[in-house]
Amino acid sequence: MSTSTQKVTIQGSVYTMSAPYAEGYSLTAGEASAMNQLRAENVRNNFAAQIKKALEEGKTLGQAELTAYDESYEFGVRASGVRSITDPVEKAARELALKDVRGAIKAGGLKVKDFSDEKLESLVDDAIAQRPDYMERAKRAIAALKAKESAPALKLNLAA
């Protein structure tokens, strides 16, 4: 049995891990339970954001709205089409790469605004794959930021 793989960033390092689930895969009872729990958490989190926005606008949402959202929810489909990055090193590396991608687009006589977010994300993926130094530079930048945050406060005599 051939298993697909996927890349995952952990503390700024990129690892390859298995991606055993594919369309048509028959879930075990435990996997089905975990998937249902994950789906419920996704729907709850997404709907919580909608409730918060509605409350800010002086409106309320109830069971009918949740049921409609639940019925329309597509598990695994991201609303924006762009993934959310939580690892600070990966986020910093992607920002560095995006700056260079934008520069390359402009240098090619094109306009960044003509590229979709998905295309820009794909170009950033390509840039990071071609130049591992983005991750190294990001690791150094995050380490420097952490060092600065943990440095003792300056004690200066600021009297004029």
pLDDT digits (tens, 9 = 90+) for 51-87: 988 899 999 999 999 999 899 888 776 655 456 677 7
Q: What is the mean pLDDT of residues 44-53?
A: 88
User: Does the pLDDT of residue 101 top 60, yes or no?
Assistant: yes
What is the pLDDT, as a whole number, of residue 78?
60
Output DSSP code: residue 69.
H
pLDDT digits (tens, 9 = 90+) for 102-146: 999 999 999 999 988 888 988 998 998 899 899 899 999 988 888
What is the pLDDT, as a whole number, of residue 109?
95
What is the pLDDT, as a whole number, of residue 25?
86
Q: First CA to last CA across the chain, in angstroms?
A: 75
Contact 53, 99 (CB under 8 A): no
54 or 1: which carries more pLDDT confidence?
54
Domain boundaries along the sequence of the chain: 27-77, 82-150
What is the pLDDT, as a whole number, of residue 84?
66
pLDDT digits (tens, 9 = 90+) for 138-157: 999 988 888 888 888 888 88
What is the pLDDT, as a whole number, of residue 30?
93
Which of 126, 138, 136 lies closest to 95 in space, CA to CA? 138
Token pair, residue 132, equals 């591992």
Model confidence band, residue 2 (pLDDT cutoffs 50, 70, 90): low
pTM for the predicted model, two decimal places: 0.48
What is the pLDDT, as a whole number, of residue 154?
83
Q: What is the mean pLDDT of residues 36-51?
A: 89
What is the pLDDT, as a whole number, of residue 50?
87
Which of 135, 153, 152, 133 lies closest to 143 in space, CA to CA? 135
Compute the half-sphere exposure of residue 76: CA atoms within 13 Å on the CB side of its CA: 5
